[in-house]
Structure 1
Amino acid sequence: ALAKTEDQFTTYQFPPSPDHPGIRMVWNENGSQPGSWGNGWKWLNALRSPQIECVVGVHPWLENDLGFSDLILPAQTTYEHNDLVIVQRSDILGMFYQDQAIDPIGDSLSDFEIHRQIGLKLGLDEAFPPAEDWLKKAYEGTIACSKHGISWDDFKDRKYVIYDSPTWEEWVDIKKGNGFSERGGGMSRFWETGEGLETPSGKIEFVSSLISEHDPDNKERPPVAKWVSHEEAPDRPKAREYPLIVMSNHARYRFHVQGDDIPWIQELQKVEGVDGYRYEACWINPADAAARGIANGDVLKVYNDRGAVLVGAFVTERIIAGAVSVDHGAKMDIVALNNEQVDRGGSIN
């Protein structure tokens, strides 16, 4: 369940009391924080904190932060176990039975089985039934079973179910079940009845009554919505120290970190330095490059107060002056440069 909106105005403190032990263990599962999300150095420093007594990493691969684990539990890829796959965010809505394609690699277990084995050791047998039972129970809650009468065994034989779009009558039933009229939807309940908005006043609020009540002097989120310049924006004092804005977009040829270690993808998106190392590309406008004596292919150090990475210059008119672009998701490669820790892999996040 989502937290109540009012929680945004409540100040929480952690640890909640002076005698609270705080965080002593981190369970790091299927993530690669430095690379996929921001504050990568902050996350790695947290894992290295003396206060953290144990870090458990669960992943099929040795991702950027797995090397900071005390214990690594090898998880399986999707090819190594049976599963139930739901198709979403597509024009075709369906469900597939995923057959195990290969034997498990080494001692790897599925994510579910890793948790199940721990649960069994803790006496939580009922909470963690065998994976087959769990999948069957999940399937029996779908309309493929409840509406169309396709049993679990039949579904496993046929391998997939593709759903038809709802008929008009079914669609009307769905809308009525969510409080809408036959032709209604979206904000129709509000303009038909004057009700239905979840604001405190029940109206469209140009001045937020919640912010006015709880935090009216907040300069970053005032009661009346307006543009608030970020402290590191070009029009703020910080820009005198760091005049270029860095964008860290999704890469075209990989998904977050996934695919960064594939040679032919590296050939497409990396810049080979004079040392033969393939650096993450840094797009920079010719005007900015000329002002700094930068040529195409040069190895650059991109840095701010949060960390530093090495990248390869890609001089192009396809990026505006005043900004550079380094795609996020590179594999970290931490080296020492002039007694400073620098990521040669170019993991900008």
Structure 2
Amino acid sequence: QEFLDKYTHGFDKYREYVMGEEDGIPKTPEWAEKICGVKASIIEDLAREYATTKPAALEDCQGPARSAMGGQYNRGAITLTAMTGNIGKPGGSACGGLHGIPYGHMFRGIMIPPGRNTAWPKGKSLRGNINPRDRLDTRVHVNKIFDAILKGKAGGYPADVKFAWFAVCDFVNQIGNANKSAEAMSREDLFTVVPELWLTPTAQYADIVLPVTGFSARSDLTRPWPSGPYFGHMNKAIEPIGECKDDIQIAEDLAERLGIKNFKREELLEQYLKNPQLAPMKGILDKYDDINDKWLRLLSVMAQDVREHVKDYDKYKKEGVHRVELKEPYIAFKKNIDDFENNPFPTPSGKIEIYSDQIASWDNPICPPIAKYIPTWENRDDPLTEKYPLQLISPHPRQRVHSELYKIEWLMEAIPHRMWINPADAAPRGIRNGDMCLTFNDRGTVAIEAFVTKRIMTGVVCIYEGAWYNPDENGIDRGACANTLTKDVMSEGGAAALKTCLVQVKLEKGGT
């Protein structure tokens, strides 16, 4: 209680909700058992073990966060870490399963040019505003890209899209509702360009495919995902294949044709070196001939964290990695807990916000100011379960990196792309291990082999994400892309809600 009183804001509101004072429903283990199916005794034992183990680390990560109410899951987790006093303590945790520590963070690299993209339309100031929907007056949520292409301004989007350049992501395959994505890409009034090394589902719908280099044909500075105590240096291993060009060279060539000045790497470098802080680098960079090498050396100086830790660039480049030697483990929010008066938390209240006054001001019943359980569309209580009774989960696969590595045959042979289904769900449908099945809902149908196993709970099927979308002449996705079935919506917390999805399964031949 002392921790909550000193470091948190609004715990009394959360207590009222849990104890049932707010709505007359105490959130007991028995209440939770009816929702999640886990026995109340197990819930109680886990709660006591977590509460009494000091320290204890709660690793929540992102899988459930990418569901219709995923934000409540994450906020509930951070509330538990505060209730148990584990924040800012060695061996404790402030949640965030990817450990966003301030070393090598992927979002703290240097952009060229730095700062805001000047091509973005100007909207209202969002400084201090955490409402994701307020960002959509001039932008489009990633999971709504193709809906925006189809509906444009008439559908409430900021523009009528006539041209799209899809780079560094297989968008058709990797966001919700692949059939809608394909429909949008097939519009006659949409012109699309895709720089690609492989003929991905997105590239197959492009008007123009530009051959682009892979990572082995270029050098670059790399960072951990999303952070870690090291910096990577990717060294070019082969020359570009055929007519492949790197993305920057493609942009340079287009800029020249469009009459855009000072866009080539050489021209930009000259402009940058006019900065008094960077001017001393000119004499050093003049020793090298390759323009990419010059830029990487300059970027290593411009990035404060690289500059601070990497003192011998040539050694860093040769070894391919520089490891940061930490004097002690990094503990998130340790300084805030140890010296709270001088280091308040970066929130409106200066404390850990169990209750958010800003969220309360939105008056949005499905985005409450404290973490709550809220039923969602396409959950087990949705009337739609009469038609689609199975919940689909789509985790990351072991043999791929999302959709990358999909075409490597021996990986597919080692771990085939199959749908996991419990015997209790398979038997009534006449499904046996190895049978080809159709998994479907109103958004689409995929054909996939069944893996009948007790390692998945009843009422749930699993299709790993990343398999390539490949519809046949009847619209059945023979590649069994999970996103043929998922919904193209965002959660109230701003996530792509791909983990909330109802389906039905039947044998491909003879099934009902």
Shared fold per TM-score greater than 0.5 = yes
Give 1:187 shift.
Answer: 4.4
Give the deviation of 1:105 after TM superposition. Answer: 1.1
Give ranges in structure 1 of 5+ residues lacking alignment: 271-279
**Residue-pair matches, total:** 318
Shift of 1:106: 1.1
Tell me which residue corresponds to 1:43.
181
Unaligned runs of 5+ in 2: 1-115, 117-125, 139-151, 266-290, 484-512
- Once the 2 structures are TM-superposed, how far is the Cα of residue 114 of structure 1 from its aligned partner? 1.3
Specify the alignment match of 1:140 in structure 2: 301
From 246, 250, 263, the counterpart of 1:110: 246
1:227 corresponds to which residue?
373
Q: What are the equivalent positions in structure 2 for 1:1-349 lying under 5 Å apart?
A: 4-8=128-132, 10=134, 12=137, 15=153, 22-52=160-190, 54-86=191-223, 93-96=230-233, 98=235, 100-129=236-265, 130-141=291-302, 149-150=311-312, 154-155=314-315, 158-160=318-320, 162-167=322-327, 184-189=334-339, 192-193=340-341, 196-213=344-361, 215-216=362-363, 218-270=364-416, 280-337=417-474, 341-349=475-483
Which residue of 1 is the match for residue 101 of structure 2?
A: none
Q: Could you tell me whether the CA contact under 8 Å between 1:112 and 1:131 is conserved in 2?
A: no
- Give the letter aligned to residue 290 of structure 1: A
SS state at 1:140 partner? helix
Take 2:174 and 2:342, find their aligned partners in 1: how far apart are those partners? 43
Contact 1:287 1:321 (C-alpha < 8 Å) held by counterparts: yes
Amino-acid identity (%) = 28
Q: CA deviation at 1:118?
A: 1.8
Match of 2:3 in 1: none
- In the alignment, the residues of structure 2 paired with residue 147 and residue 282 of structure 1 have an alpha-carbon distance, to the nearest angstrom, of 46
SS in structure 1 at match of 2:221: strand
Amino acid at match of 1:108: C
- Judge conservation of contact 1:97–1:155 (CA < 8 Å) in 2: no
Of stretches 254-263 and 113-122 in structure 1, the one that deviates more from structure 2 is: 113-122
Identify the structure with bigger relative contact order (alpha carbons < 8 Å, sequence gap 6+): 2
Instruction: Please report the TM-score for the alignment, with normalisation by the length of structure 2.
Output: 0.55
Given that 2:404 and 2:466 are in contact with CA atoms closer than 8 Å, whether structure 1 keeps it comes out as yes
CA contact (8 A) 2:421 2:452 kept: yes
Higher helix share: 2
Q: TM-score if structure 1 supplies the norm length?
A: 0.79
Per-residue displacement from partner, 1:197-233 (whole Å, max 9, x unpaired)?
34433344443211222x22x2311233211111100
Distance change >3 Å, CA 41–CA 196, structure 1 → 2: farther
Q: CA 1:207 to 1:104, structure 2 compared with 1: closer, same or farther past 3 Å? A: closer
Hey, what's the Cα distance between the residues in 2 that align with 1:188 and 1:119?
Answer: 52
Alpha-carbon offset, residue 186 of structure 1: 4.8
Q: 2: distance between equivalents of 1:135 and 1:186?
A: 36
Q: Kindly tell me: are residues 247 and 7 of structure 1, through their superposed partners in 2, closer, same or farther at Cα, counting changes over 3 Å?
A: closer
* Cα RMSD after superposing both structures: 3.3
Relative distance call for 1:106 and 1:3 in structure 2 (3 A) is farther
3-state SS, counterpart of residue 266 of structure 1: helix
Residues of 1 paired with 2:130 and 2:218: CA distance? 43
